[in-house]
Amino acid sequence: MQAEVVADRLVYIFRFIYCGLYLSVWKERIGGVVPVAATMRGAEHVTLQAVRARAHPNVALVKYWGKRDLHLNLPAVGSISLTLGGLYTEVTIQPSKANRDEYRSNGRLVEGAPLSGLGRFLDLFRALSGRQERLSIEAKSNFPVAAGLASSASTYAALTVALAALYGIRLSKEQLSALARQGSGSACRSIWGGFVEWRRGERPDGSDSFASRLVSPPDWPITVIVAITDFQPKHTVSRDGMRQSETSPFYPAWVASQVDDLDEARRAIGAGDLERLGSVAERNCLKMHAVAFTARPPLVYWRPATLAAVETVWKLRAAGVPAYFTIDAGPQVKVLCRTQDRATVQGALAATPGVRKVILCHPGGDAQLVEGFH
């Protein structure tokens, strides 16, 4: 046998062993998504084409707050959200001209911890595809980022859809959701439009922890109005806030009472019952922030205008307008109301001292590729 033929066969055998090894290692890491690199042999010579995807942020009505596994980003509790149309992040990915991953968010070069986090996320897809190129990523959001408006959710959901397309990996929405979860937990919900539930899951490998869509009455006329009270990025990112909150004496009660809130919200959504949904959303939000307030050291995401907006909502309700607030890890207030009341609610929030801007959102759709982009 000629030396080249032997060398060729050896390379083939080593590749086979490599694929087998990483099939077993990565099956656990990516939460039940079976790597496809073994089926893509030869595809590494195809030049990657630029892709673009878009996803909406979501507002949590029953909140994810606390983790049961930091490494796999598994939640301590299930959560339910509504995807917000009108707001979106668009992510464009292409092979990097430099020999490293590059990331720009709204035109600014991102470095440090957020870039390392992104690099680890890209590695999941590099392992899935068997390709090693460094990538250039450009994210553009049409709303303030890192300010409690779930920009990490829309960014990682769009990234997930774009990366699967870039590498030509066919995945179900549940698999996309399980992958997005590892970039940022709330991103697993932004893969879907409408009302979405992320199940906590029980398995240690996270394979049962992904989001799926909840059934709600078709064309339920519901609107979310976002009251921006501060444009600055939040002082404590959710990941750190969650860890800090575990020190609260109320944290175990928060986790234990989540099952009932999820059940209540699921029933309210199924029945199209705004009052029931809004009531549980407000209760759940206040519980989450009570846990944060009572952490050591205390964690306060609210600004004076946050409380002022909450009082506006309560006044509206006292005047007969069914409006309900929720607040994520930041100072902005999101108000759920009937579409027919949107002008009244918008006007009342805009007139609240300290409210800087008011944004109207309707329920948004699934994360998807931006077609025809090249």
User: Which residues in this chain contact ligand DP6 in the complex, by CB under 6 A?
Assistant: 60, 63-65, 73, 79, 152, 184-186, 238-239, 328-329
For residue 302, give the amino acid letter. W
Cα(374)–Cα(364) distance, integer angstroms = 25
Closest to ligand DP6 by CB, 37 or 145: 145
CB of 172 to ligand DP6, least distance (A): 21
- The structure tokens listed for 189 are 């919900």
Closest to ligand DP6 by CB, 59 or 316: 59
* 136: β partners: 94, 102
Buried b / exposed e along 131-141 (16+ C-beta atoms within 10 A): bebebbbbbbb
CB of 82 to ligand DP6, least distance (A): 11
Question: How many residues does the structure list for the chain?
Answer: 374
Q: Among all residues, whose Cβ is closest to ligand DP6?
A: 185
Closest to ligand DP6 by CB, 186 or 223: 186
Cα(57)–Cα(104) distance, integer angstroms = 18
* Contact indicator for 277, 311 with CB cutoff of 8 Å: no
Closest to ligand DP6 by CB, 141 or 186: 186
CB of 326 to ligand DP6, least distance (A): 9
CB of 60 to ligand DP6, least distance (A): 3
Closest to ligand DP6 by CB, 145 or 348: 145
Closest to ligand DP6 by CB, 237 or 360: 237
Cα(37)–Cα(19) distance, integer angstroms = 7
CB of 185 to ligand DP6, least distance (A): 3
Provide the phi-psi class of 148: left if phi over 0, else alpha when psi is between -120 and 50, else beta. Answer: left
Closest to ligand DP6 by CB, 152 or 209: 152
CB atoms within 10 A of CB 252: 11
CB of 110 to ligand DP6, least distance (A): 15
**H helical segments located in the chain:** 3-29, 112-129, 151-166, 173-183, 187-190, 238-245, 251-271, 274-293, 304-318, 342-350
As to burial, measured by CB atoms within 10 angstroms (0-12 exposed, 13-18 middle, 19+ buried), residue 362 is middle
CB of 70 to ligand DP6, least distance (A): 9
